[in-house]
A and B are shown apart, each in its own frame.
Chain A
């Protein structure tokens, strides 16, 4: 499986130079530095450089060693045994051993930690230390994506020094105290001053000989894309970790030699419709009542399937640089199937379905279309949808809110009819479970269909890749038919590097590693 395609020229042909400072721009602030609990890609992109894990994943989907040098999976798929390297040190000088792995997984699985990764470890029964450098993870049931999960779910398991973790508080780690944030990665944290910069220096005792190449990485937050472009043009930064799709053409015109990296979209752009509401008026209540508009499948299909022209949205909102898409899994995700043909733009059919559902000139349909201010493209998409549904006699009233208001409304079962947003980047179908099974807090449509849960369970436990692919296809067709999850398109992701930045491997949002980066200047 490809994590992404890249236009970056191969750098391996040249001999890497050591030294220099890599200057990186992030588009959003880092929220905190407790790697197991704090959300946000920006934090994770730091964690995967300060920390190391058991294994890693390459852009073509192969698992490669990190702190573990080898591994074995038992024939029944219940035992994962990892043999650790003996030369892996934390930045505080302590050794990475089997007890460290157990400590970290136990910490994530402990409900008191409140790790957002806990849900991924549901199949794990226990972790055992077999000897100082051998650790075994026992599963409750076969789980086809155990290696994916360890390598890359929420960007993968990151090991913390137990010594530092026990000595310092959660607040210390969140606040980024260097002595509290102790990993075993290629860079050690020097300083994080929120709003100013994050500085990491090369860890000279990193276990991969000769790596990393650069002496220092300085990460600054530059939120405005125009300022990012100005800083890039003036060579004030070497790398933009997340660049706005809207400005790619401008940046390319200004910097013909810039390395602009992108790949297949792994994040879905959604027009989510709410299916049920709390019957007793209490948010998140298990007592559900039908949503007055979108519980009716005919209305969901009229609006979400036939009434939305996905190609037009992509043309206007993304200047054609995204894939019109319907499936529950975005185009760049493993086992994604293109089921977009199941929902061709057909206003006549949409009107007919609305008529069947009792809507028409005498009883016009009006709904609220919520979106948020995080990305300007959301408002553009909402506006195009509003215009498109007008063509079938439906009024969409746009409600623009800020991100926290959107978050609280959606995750707390608040009042909305439809929203436009892009959600998490997905490596596998399985990873989407925590966003869409019936019991998930992020099941924003609040569907109650147990068949969705069954599909996820069957898919995750099927060890035969061919059979798994068939389940995935069936599930995506089912999802397109029920429209509990209404995808509009993929959401393109871009990274930009100066021509002298070499050795970087594009892996979309999943991995941002600086250890092999070197500066050819």
Chain B
């Protein structure tokens, strides 16, 4: 097991590097660069050439990448060309917001998906099943921003500001700035709508998947045996059926993290949250190469690590699985 984990951890390095290289090359291949935005109204071709030289943007792409990588190895994530701010500092300020959003979105998804899938599987082809599958289908079909706007209209405008429409309040002890709103209840209020907007779509996918798995598992012989020997329905469902049905669901949950990061860009923009999503989209739109690299690095790393954790979870769900 230890050897397996070590191998997987080592695999993270080339995977993340490959992703950063691809993004590095792609970003420099799209039209536009930060220099035009940086110089703004005062743009002249002569100044642009000087600025590109100053930031090393006139060097070959691979040379630029190697320079970036060399600095990264020394812990230097670079400086934003546009704002002059250290990239690592901005990433660390924003990471907790997005992490909390993603974790809670997944929580929302599971809270909805698990009961809906169990009901759908145990009461197949009844109104409860049809309701669960129909709601799941609707959830898959509606984009995050639309759910977000509906929530805004309902809770922030319709119900007289029951939930705050935008911004962020930090959990006690986590404020990364000089001036912060800090409150547990405030944090819950601020994260609720974004987490629901982001989680509903994932809930729909997980519901459909888990329902199918549950249907397969409850027809297996060991479940029939469990019932035949007189085991109550609750342990049959939760201990025997659900645990085994969760394996493919957990796999998909790991992959869904990628979608959650993508969705976070939309949801954070809509709710004006100071997270990594808004950081990433601003960086891409501004062609702020250093920030894009920072965003890519952290999200790629998070994605790979979460999928490693998912793989390790299999051993808990099914003790027969062993990693050598």
Residues of A within 8 A of B (CB): 29, 31-32, 34, 37-40, 114-119, 154, 170-176, 190-191, 193-197, 199, 218, 220-224, 226-227, 229-231, 233-236, 254, 283-284, 401-405, 407-409, 411-412, 424, 434, 441-442
The 8 closest A-B pairs by CB, nearest first: A39-B40, A116-B42, A404-B32, A174-B84, A234-B161, A230-B165, A196-B274, A171-B84
Residues of chain A within 8 A (CB-CB) of B161 are 233-236
B44 within 8 A of A: yes
With CB as the reference atom, state the residue of chain B lying closest to A32: B83
Q: Does B30 contact A (CB under 8 A)?
A: yes
Distance between Cα atoms of A150 and B33 in the complex (Å): 31
Does B39 lie within 8 Å of A114, measured CB to CB?
yes
Q: In this assembly, does B240 line the interface, its C-beta being within 8 Å of a C-beta of chain A? A: no
* Nearest CB in chain A: distance from B273 CB, A: 9
Cβ-defined contact, A190 with B41, below 8 A: no
Query: From A229, which residue of chain B is reached at the shortest CB distance?
Result: B157
25 inter-chain pairs at a CB distance below 8 angstroms, sorted by A residue, are A31-B37, A32-B84, A114-B47, A116-B42, A116-B43, A117-B42, A171-B84, A173-B84, A174-B84, A191-B177, A193-B177, A195-B275, A196-B274, A230-B152, A230-B153, A230-B156, A231-B167, A234-B156, A254-B157, A403-B32, A403-B37, A404-B285, A404-B286, A412-B48, A441-B43
Given contacts A114-B47, A116-B40, contact A190 B31 (CB under 8 A): no
Residues of A within 8 Å of B153, CB to CB, are: 230
A196 and B51 within 8 A (CB): no
Chain A residues near B33 (CB-CB < 8 A): 404, 408
Given the known inter-chain contacts A196-B168, A236-B164, please indicate yes or no for A119 contacting B42, CB distance below 8 A.
yes
Contact B165 A195 (CB under 8 A): no
Kindly identify, within residues 26 to 59 of chain B, every residue whose CB is under 8 Å from any CB belonging to chain A: 30-34, 36-45, 47-48, 50-51
B31 and A405 form a contact (CB under 8 A)? yes
B93 at the interface (CB under 8 A from A): yes
Can you add 14 more A-B contacts, CB < 8 Å, to A175-B85, A234-B160, A411-B36? A114-B47, A116-B43, A171-B79, A174-B85, A194-B279, A199-B178, A227-B152, A227-B165, A230-B157, A234-B161, A254-B157, A403-B285, A404-B285, A404-B287
Chain B residue with minimal CB distance to A232?
B165
Instruction: Say which one of B10-18, B218-226, B229-237, B264-272 lies at the interface with A.
Output: B264-272
Cβ-defined partner of B41 (8 Å) among A196, A224, A442 = A442
When each residue 286-310 of chain B gets 1 if its CB lies under 8 Å from chain A and 0 otherwise, what string results? 1100000000000000000000000
Option from B39, B79, B166 in Cβ contact (under 8 Å) with A236: B166
State whether A407 touches B36 (Cβ < 8 A). Answer: yes
Interface size on B, residues (CB 8 A): 57
Q: Which residues of A contact B317 (CB under 8 A)?
A: none
Q: State which of A174, A411, A424 has its C-beta within 8 Å of the C-beta of B43.
A: A411
Name the distance in Å between B310's Cβ and chain A's nearest Cβ.
29
For the complex, what is the distance from the CA of A475 to the CA of B164, rounded to whole Å? Answer: 52
- Give Cα A48–Cα B86 distance, bound, in whole angstroms: 25
Known contacts: A197-B179, A199-B179, A411-B36. The answer to whether A224 contacts B45 by CB under 8 A is no
Chain B positions within 8 Å of A412 at CB level: 36, 45, 48
> With A195-B274, A411-B36 given, is the CB distance from A227 to B41 under 8 Å?
no
- Are B36 and A408 interface neighbours, CB within 8 A? yes
Q: Is the CB of A234 within 8 A of B164?
A: yes
Tell whether B82 is near chain A: CB-to-CB under 8 Å.
yes
Q: Which residues of A contact B5 (CB under 8 A)?
A: none
Our pick among A154, A218, A220, A408 for the contact of B31 (Cβ within 8 Å) is A408
Is there an interface contact between A195 and B41, defined as CB atoms closer than 8 Å? Answer: no
Q: What's the least CB distance linking B26 to chain A, in Å?
A: 14
Q: Please provide the chain B residues from 112 to 153 with a CB less than 8 Å away from any CB of chain A in the complex.
A: 149, 152-153
* Whole-angstrom CA separation of A34 from B286 in the bound complex: 17
Docked-complex contact A114 and B51, CB < 8 angstroms: yes
How many angstroms from the CA of A119 to the CA of B149 in the assembled complex? 44
A236 to B275, CA, bound (A): 19
B94 contacts partner chain A, Cβ-Cβ < 8 Å:
yes
Q: From residue B303, how far is it (CB to closest CB) to chain A in Å?
A: 21
B66 CB, min distance to chain A CBs, angstroms? 23
When distances are taken between beta carbons in the complex, the residues of chain A under 8 Å from B285 are 402-404
Per-residue interface assignment for chain B, residues 271 to 285, with 1 indicating a CB less than 8 Å from any chain A CB and 0 otherwise: 110110011001001
Expressed in whole angstroms, the minimum distance between the Cβ of A28 and any Cβ of chain B is 10
Do residues A402 and B32 form an inter-chain contact, with CB atoms below 8 A? yes
Q: Would you call A230 and B166 a contact (CB within 8 A)?
A: yes
- Which of B41, B48, B165, B177 interacts with A39 by CB under 8 Å? B41
- Chain B residues with Cβ below 8 Å from A172 are 84
Residues in A whose Cβ lies below 8 Å from that of B165: 227, 230-231, 233-234, 236
Tell me the smallest distance from the CB of A372 to a CB of chain B, in Å: 10
